[in-house]
Amino acid sequence: MPKALRFGIWVLVSALGTLAFARIALGRGETINAAWLLTAALCSYAVAYRFYSKLIAAKVFALDPIRATPAVRLEDGRDYVPTNRWIVFGSHFAAISGPGPLVGPTLAAQFGYLPGVIWIIVGVALGGAVQDFVILASSVRRNGKSLGAMAREEIGPVAGATALVAVLGIMIVLLAVLALIVVNALKSSPWGLVTIGLTIPVALLMGVYLRWLRPGRVLEASAIGIVLIVASLFAGQWVSTQPSLAAVFTLSGTALAIVVMIYAFTASVLPVWLLLAPRDYLSAFVKIGVVLALAIGIIVSLPPLHMPALTQFTDGSGPVFAGKVFPFAFITIACGAISGFHALISSGTTPKLLQREPDARMIGYGAMLMESLVAVMALIAACALTPGVYFAVNAPAGVIGTTAAAAATKIQTWGFTLDPNQMQALAKQVGEQTLLSRTGGAPSLALGMGQLFANVLGGNEALAIWYHFALMFEALFILTTLDAGTRVGRFMVQELAKHIWAPLGSVSWYPAVVLSSAVIVAMWGHFLYQGVLDPLGGINSLWPLFGISNQLLATVALCVATTIFVKMGKARYAWITLLPMAWLTIVCMTAGWQKLFAEDVKLGFLSHARLIESQVASGALPAAIKSASDARRMIFNDYLDAVVTLFFMVSVVVILADSAREWMSVLRGRKPVISSEAPFEPLPAAGD
Amino acid sequence: MTSRELLRVARVRLENAGAIVRRIIGAPDYDRYVAHLRDHHPGARPMTYDEFARQRMVERYSRPGTRCC
């Protein structure tokens, strides 16, 4: 294609994107269409991929198509397997996608669509995709080294150890949050509980099938599994219509929390092939299915956005979570903009699969752009709901009360319309007792998707099936992340424990396995249980904690990347990683500081603890707190959350300081500019 | 092409597609492993499918790097 034509096309794409952004930013007071958000996103991604990722690939790493990747040099048929880049793209995308890009934007919609969409698009282009790409390329050049190992090698042992402990901490918060999302979605919902509950025996069946009946026939087993879980969707519906059965499966939040904890513990101890691996296969299909369904629903119906561009909650008075739009919009949306956890994936199995170095651009940068598109779509689905319905579903009972009438009254004081009969009718339509305060983002997304589908095909009668279909599929892969994550967490606990007493690290010694599984489940289970009891709804305090820890891990990853740039002799390009790193540091430290020391009792952990302490001392407990022991437990949790937040903040300061020391040493010439990359080897010539 | 040939082509295409999907979702790729051993370590005895699959699966779930949030 002639150069002038290519140039012209890019001018057009940029112009279209700019137009879309202008429409989004300037269209206040009128309902704009989702198409504008999609256009802005797609044009921005195209421009960012074509120009920014190319800059990084060419100028920083000089990705070389004839340089042998570790998959080629160290091929062993197991970990190091040179794989076609589209397959690696698919598996990397399947690895990084999860509930994150679906939940974060849904929660951030409380500020309106504008802060969310700007952060998702700008954040991913300049931050998230950059992080994923740079860590992937760095790991490829180092034979697939993990982030922790790179931190240790590039910065120092203190940074490496801190990173490892921080990762364990993040996993615990993440698992607690995911469990809470599941509990909030399934409590008092016999349909949901039966459907999700049945996925466990389905997975067990698949495990047995794959081990003894038809070994290796993964697709066959998955097909059977998918058919069975669709059947369980209807089984759940049937149970919800039988009053006596429905009563058995209507569990309270606390009961469900215990069930989830027992389940995760059992799943992490059972052999992998029996439950975890089959669930993982199912989840991969289900994840792709949900993303495709969301995309089709939005593209076909192109809904108008009923949520305004900015709501009054940008001032920090929001019901879904506390905090002003800065910094909390940037904390709430992690996956989809920038997520530190992705750096673990980018330095996990993916770098060992790359056939050629230039593939890293498409896989690292490109897959993250795609996840960002999923986040934009989740934001659209949340904002396509009317604000009244959105807040009725996402605001905790402690704020809007427990009846449709109370919720409607409260929401109307915020300036949004909500008819209490409408909420009750909607709940009945989707086959739930109530949709109020089903916080955690999953039910709200399911409702949005259900409505999109009901508009497109099926009409209102099918809303119930679509709602539960979306909810079930989401809960399925969330639950799989939970049980797989518990198992990984158990390994990490054993890794740490073996420094205390060697036999604890043995993965074949059953007592050690059971003990470490119990420890990790107890750790996230504690946060889960407290979240369930919290009158403000646990998501209110746990999600920002997860967001802060995740973004701080991203800061660590970008720190490692900057150190690598400096040691490669590319310090003049260090701004590429320093820019998002500086932004994230400011955002996370501000958010952490506010969560610790803010005077607002809904925001600051310590001020909230002091409030409850004074209430206990004066004997005037509010209605939401049943007893003094409950109050003392809440106080303990506030302090615990504060300590965890402080731990993450201190970890990042330590790593930043250590890194800055390294940069200064290299830049001042006290240390040589030596890269730790594996030496260049050309690809074997064709025919070898 | 005769209908027999069409069916054969379709079957080959489906098998290829199946192999791609299996690798994307992370199923253990035993054929690749055996082929690699055959090409590079002719004398070595490959693990059985069972041993191979179990090892792959255990490795997958022992490090944070396979599945995200």
pLDDT of residue A686: 63
Residues whose CB falls within 8 Å of the CB of residue A228, separated by 6 or more in sequence, listed in order: A198, A202, A205
Quick: pLDDT tens for A390-399.
999 999 888 8
Where are chain B's structural domains? 3-60
Quick: pLDDT tens for A170-216.
999 999 999 999 998 888 889 889 999 999 999 999 999 999 999 88
Average pLDDT over residues A410-414: 93
- Residue A453 pLDDT greater than 90, yes or no: no
HEC string of A347-361 equals CCCHHHCECECCHHH
Residues of B in contact with A484 (CB under 8 A): 61, 66-67
pLDDT band at residue A431 using 50, 70 and 90 as cut-offs: confident
Note whether ipTM > 0.90 here: yes
Tell whether B40 lies on the interface with A, counting CB pairs under 8 A.
yes
Quick: pLDDT tens for A299-312.
998 999 999 999 99
Quick: pLDDT tens for A273-331.
999 999 999 999 988 888 998 999 999 989 999 999 999 999 989 999 889 999 999 99
Quick: pLDDT tens for A107-120.
999 999 999 999 99
CA atoms within 13 A on the CB side of A30: 7
Residues of A in contact with B67 (CB under 8 A): 95, 98, 280, 345, 480-481, 484-485
- Residue A687 pLDDT greater than 60, yes or no: no
**CA nearest to A168 within chain B:** B64
Quick: pLDDT tens for A600-656.
988 999 999 999 999 888 888 877 777 888 888 889 999 999 999 999 999 999 999
pLDDT of residue A500: 84
A344–B21 C-beta distance less than 8 A? no
Looking at every residue in chain A, the average pLDDT score rounds to: 91
Helix, strand and coil percent figures for chain B, each rounded to 5: 65, 0, 35
B30–A100 C-beta distance less than 8 A? no
- Residue A688 pLDDT greater than 70, yes or no: no
- Residue from A433, A444, A430 nearest A392 by CA: A444
* DSSP letter (8 states) at residue A385: S
pLDDT of residue B59: 87
pLDDT of residue B22: 93
Average pLDDT over residues A260-283: 93
pLDDT of residue A354: 97
Q: What's the CATH superfamily of A3-189+250-667?
A: Amino acid/polyamine transporter I (1.20.1740.10)
What's the one-letter identity of residue B60? R
Give the DSSP per-residue string, A495-539: HHHTTT-GGGG-TT-HHHHHHHHHHHHHHHHHHHHHHHH-TT-TH
- Residue A539 pLDDT greater than 60, yes or no: yes
pLDDT of residue A277: 93
pLDDT band at residue A594 using 50, 70 and 90 as cut-offs: very high
> What predicted TM-score, i.e. pTM, was given to this entire model?
0.94
Quick: pLDDT tens for A507-522.
888 899 999 999 999 9
pLDDT of residue A495: 86
- Residue A676 pLDDT greater than 90, yes or no: no
Residues of B in contact with A542 (CB under 8 A): none
Average pLDDT over residues A148-160: 92
Q: Which of these ranges, A38-42, A201-205, A464-468, has the smallest mean pLDDT?
A: A464-468
Tell whether B9 lies on the interface with A, counting CB pairs under 8 A.
no
Tell me the torsion sign for CA atoms A199, A200, A201, A202: positive
φ, ψ of residue A33 in degrees (nearest 5) = -90, 150
Average pLDDT over residues A146-156: 92
Q: Cα–Cα distance between A305 and A339 in angstroms, integer?
A: 26
pLDDT of residue A526: 94
B32, burial (CB in 10 Å: exposed 0-12, middle 13-18, buried 19+): middle
Query: Interhelix angle for A147-154 vs A157-186, to 10°?
Result: 150
